[in-house]
Structure 1
Amino acid sequence: MLSFNELLTFEYENEYESAYDLSVKRNFSIPKIYSANGDLSKRWYIYFSFRDPKNGKLERQTPFYGNANKYRTKEDRMSVLVTYRKVLLRLLGQGYSPYSDNIELHKSLNAKNTVGIIYDLPDNNTTPPSEKPKMTVKEGFDFAIKLKEKLVSINTKRDYESKIKNFLKWLSINHPEIKFISELNKKLVVEFLNDVLNRNSARTRNNYKTDLSSIFQVLVDNEIIEQNFIKKIPKLKSIPERNKTYSQDTQEEIFCYLEENDPILLLYIKFISYNFLRPIEVCRIKVKDIDTKNKTIRFKAKNSPLKTKIIPELLWTDLPDLNKLDKDAILFTPDKIGGTWNTMVGNRRDYFSKRFKRIVKDHFKLGIEYGLYSFRHTYITKVYRALMRDSSPFEAKSKLMLITGHSSMTALEKYLRDIDAELPEDYSTMLKNVYE
């Protein structure tokens, strides 16, 4: 005797249309799909009732799962269950009964190729069983972003959304015929990246490539598209933007000028200079992040969720009495130390960058190569050269790693090379010996 699961699975794999005689009194209820309100962590299935031949009542039958729950997207899972339900309706209409031997029915179905009308279902689950539901380009990207937002920071999500918005705008102008996410291809994305390159820089173009590739990988992982062809697009060589270190005289002139003209900006710069924080890390600081007893600060760093650093005495003496401030207050706001500022941390960083340009760069006529990062480079260089006076290079770098917070010696050494912190001693005697 064939079991219900065996019969239904077989008929799913060998599906063909069959007639359903509406004149026959139904001995079964219309099969329904249970989708757990879209929760993919729960099991989805088909359920129905069949009239018990002994008591004449409709009795709920064992739910049918099939292979539906192995699929990882709602669209795929629903498509499979819709097909199962369609086949089940056909079997029920042709005489299948969970209370009897169905061998003769099975033989009959294999011997005939009946074409007919499938019972008209009362809901909207009409997706063709042989096709996956098509997603528009925007729907595909929205789906990927929704999954990504659980894994990335708010700022990263905003970067994704911004780049996708620009891509969709470009697509609507240059290729309005493209409607579905499956229609995108490598040639089209290369065309878009070339447009980004023409309007911006190689670095910006590479950033677009990286972010779009990340989004496309989500679509591949969820079997919405077949491959991430963006991975095959080469990365262009770009010249990194680099902030130069300040000379001793320029740095002192800037500090003296800000003491009179913008003390808040000066203290902001001192956190970058003395604590070696990045501008956005300073913008994240709240009053409660500073331990007044141990003179330490906790902050979210670039490559780690949370770091702790000491606050050097040189900086500590410039801080106001933090015990008088609201613990949840943002440390740096436009008009005071310790206050409310309801805007994204990226907007805070941009504000202080523009304020620095207006107050400092324009006044001292500094070039594009000088910025807030230049103070971090300047003071790391100072500390490293001071350590080198009494230590070997390895000892000096080991001590410096504790101060700067670099995650590895390799990362620190690359950073020191990039900012030209490592300079050799005078080699004049070597040059003289060459000519003697």
Structure 2
Amino acid sequence: MPLNSLLLQNVHENVHVFSMKLNYSEPKIYTGGVDISTWSKLTAKQKNNALERPWYLYFSFRDPSSGKLVRQPNIKAGANRFKTKTERYAYLRKLQQSLIQLLQFGFNPYEDNTDLENQFLSGEKTQSKKEPQIKNQVKEKDLKKENIKPKEVQEIPEKTIEEALDFALDIKVSMMNKNSFVQYSSRIGLFKKWLKSKEYLNKPLSFITRRIITEYLNEVLKRTSPRNRNNSRTDLASTFQLLEDNEWITVNFVKRIPKLKSVPKRNKTYSPKQEDEIFKYLEKNDPYMILFIRFVSYSFLRPIEICRLKVEDIDVENKLMYIKSKTKPVQKKIIPQILLDHLPDLSQKDPRANLFGRYEIGEVWDAEPINKRNEFSKRFKAVKDHFKLGSDYGIYSFKHTYVTKLYVKYVKTMTPQQAKSKLMNITGHVTLDALQKYLRDIDAEMPADYSEDFA
């Protein structure tokens, strides 16, 4: 039988002290996905978002047929007509106290509670009754004898942590691109492995807490780096948000775990001398690699974007290429003449073949783009080893090098703003702010010599 606010509001008048075996979980208040104790620290937007969501009471009760605690329908009882946090929370707190007392008096959602309801609503004193012992299995004739009504809502027993994580993986595989999902599933797999080592994996989902997640993230930090720790936190927050959205949990507490300050690694730009030496070395030892680097240098593409290119994506006649970028499903870019001059004839190549095959241009290469990128990175490692270059140098350093070259040349005849506006169309940055941050990160903007200012 569903609860109603009138019944809950009359409980206080009839309650006395008693004790009995509990067959229910403590009723809790859902406050729009935020921790009510941190309300004063929330932004106005966060407060409004929380108040726009429904607030309610929730609890579980032991199912007579299975003997397991089952989540009951949420109890709103008109709480959301209150528009402020203070009024809404105070109202739900009163209902929470009443619900606890009502359950203590023997309210059972699987039984007919008419007599109990009449006693409270009429203001009569009542004696607490003992809860019936829940058996693992109840026969149909016993249900009729006890007058247990059919459930109005079909509830699912609480899942284990492992079941919840597997559910998230099954959903995420359809929501993410293949490369992103590989990284995501790897991090969730490491989390599952850690839970198993702690003997947590088969515990109920409600067992997992913010403290447990924080403990795991601290171990990731000790083992790896702040960046890996933050990436793990992001993937876990995404997982628990999916569980909240699907009503497996009421609050995604992982997103309230703060990120750590992490300094991202940036590839350095090459000096003119380094660049000249690298190209001379490649001409002798790996000329195929030179064209790959020219795509990075002249078209400002990421290595993985180059690895996705097919022969059909190159329109030589109109000097255009069609790429799948990080920010767009398909992006159209010009092929500058300086790059076009180095392209071989593609007219006889299979249009569906990779532009950059494993060993030659226009070769079918059945591998994932990320594996192809790794293959070119391994080939370039021979260059790094030869010149004893550190980990802050790589193929992507050529993009930084050539963006810097263009910017330095443009500012000789243009204002910095004009130079950035022209450069923005070439590099593909969506906003000027993004380009300016990128130029600062690669130290493309350098001041003129200010020695005379000291004179």
What TM-score comes out, normalization by structure 1 length? 0.70
1:394 aligns with 2:409: no
Q: What letter is aligned with 2:311?
A: V
Q: How does 1:127-276 map to 2 (within 5 A)?
A: 132-176=156-200, 178-276=202-300
1:364 aligns with 2:394: no
Q: How does 1:382-421 map to 2 (within 5 A)?
A: 382-421=405-444
Residues 127 and 276 (structure 1), Cα distance of their counterparts in 2 relative to 1, 3 Å cut: farther
Whether the aligned pair in 2 keeps the contact of 1:178 and 1:184 (CA below 8 Å) is: no
Whether the aligned pair in 2 keeps the contact of 1:243 and 1:370 (CA below 8 Å) is: yes
Residues 177 and 301 (structure 1), Cα distance of their counterparts in 2 relative to 1, 3 Å cut: closer
Classify the secondary structure of the residue corresponding to 2:140.
coil
Distance 2:220 2:335 in 1: 43
CA-based RMSD of the aligned residues comes to 2.8
Residues 119 and 333 (structure 1), Cα distance of their counterparts in 2 relative to 1, 3 Å cut: farther
Q: How far off is 1:109 after superposition?
A: 9.8
Q: How far off is 1:257 after superposition?
A: 1.4
Residues 313 and 127 (structure 1), Cα distance of their counterparts in 2 relative to 1, 3 Å cut: farther
Distance 1:248 1:225 in 2: 57
Distance 2:260 2:216 in 1: 14
Superimposed CA distance per residue, residues 30-65 of structure 1 (whole angstroms, 9 cap, x where no aligned partner): xxxxxxxxxxxxxxxxxxxxxxxxxxxxxxxxxxxx
Partner of 2:345: 321
Distance 1:397 1:355 in 2: 34
Q: How does 1:104-123 map to 2 (within 5 A)?
A: 117-118=139-140
Q: How far off is 1:222 after superposition?
A: 0.6
Q: What letter is aligned with 1:418?
A: D
Q: How far off is 1:174 after superposition?
A: 2.3
Whether the aligned pair in 2 keeps the contact of 1:246 and 1:374 (CA below 8 Å) is: yes
What TM-score comes out, normalization by structure 2 length? 0.67
* Aligned pair partner of 1:338 in 362, 371, 388: 362
Q: How far off is 1:180 after superposition?
A: 2.7
* Aligned pair partner of 2:446 in 423, 428, 431: 423
* Aligned pair partner of 1:379 in 402, 426, 430: 402
Partner of 1:99: none
Distance 1:299 1:280 in 2: 10
Q: How many residues align?
A: 326
Q: How far off is 1:148 after superposition?
A: 2.3
Whether the aligned pair in 1 keeps the contact of 2:313 and 2:321 (CA below 8 Å) is: yes
Q: Displaced runs of 4+ in structure 1, greater than 4 A?
A: 11-14, 108-113, 126-131
Q: How far off is 1:341 after superposition?
A: 1.3
Q: How far off is 1:176 after superposition?
A: 4.0
Distance 2:239 2:363 in 1: 37
Whether the aligned pair in 1 keeps the contact of 2:309 and 2:355 (CA below 8 Å) is: yes
Q: How far off is 1:256 after superposition?
A: 1.6
Residues 179 and 384 (structure 1), Cα distance of their counterparts in 2 relative to 1, 3 Å cut: same
Distance 1:346 1:112 in 2: 65
Distance 1:127 1:318 in 2: 73
Distance 1:187 1:111 in 2: 44
- Greater alpha carbon shift after TM alignment, 139-148 vs 396-405: 139-148
Whether the aligned pair in 1 keeps the contact of 2:161 and 2:201 (CA below 8 Å) is: no
Distance 1:168 1:119 in 2: 44
Query: Gapped runs of 5+ residues in structure 1?
Result: 1-10, 15-78, 83-107
Distance 1:195 1:423 in 2: 40
Larger Rg: 1
Q: How far off is 1:195 after superposition?
A: 0.7
